[in-house]
Amino acid sequence: MLLDNIELRSKHTISELQLLVRQIDSIKELIHRNDVQQPDYEQIKELVQNETPSPRPTSPNDLIRREEVITMTGLSRSTIYTLMKNSEFPLSIKLSERSVAWRRGDIQNWISNKIASKNERVNK
């Protein structure tokens, strides 16, 4: 089915999910309006591309949740907590009893430091 082939590249923010719903509604309308069994993929592609949201600006002080930290670093949840325990990773900020986040800038700095230390080893 066509809708099964739509690739969702978003981080599932509410606005991105709302945009996806609008895109799906537009595709459904296009299919019903043209009364076709096989939709025109070029028209669908154009609809989707025209509604792609521009990335929102980020700040080093943004608080990001664990899933985004995992995406940014490529580390597993358990590795992140092991590194934190060994003082090798930025500490999380407790938001509530069951919720934590990290400062975006702390994670970006950690990644930059990892890259810099790798480059130093390579250049020796």
pLDDT per residue as tens digits for the range 83-94: 999 999 999 999
Residue type, 24: I
Give the CA distances from residue 38 to residues 24, 28, 108, in Å, rounded to whole numbers and listed in that order: 15, 12, 45
Which carries the bigger pLDDT value, residue 48 or residue 115?
A: 115
**Domain edges within the chain:** 2-50, 63-123
| pTM (predicted TM-score) | 0.57
What is the CB neighbour count within 10 angstroms for residue 81?
A: 14
So what's the pLDDT on residue 47? Answer: 66
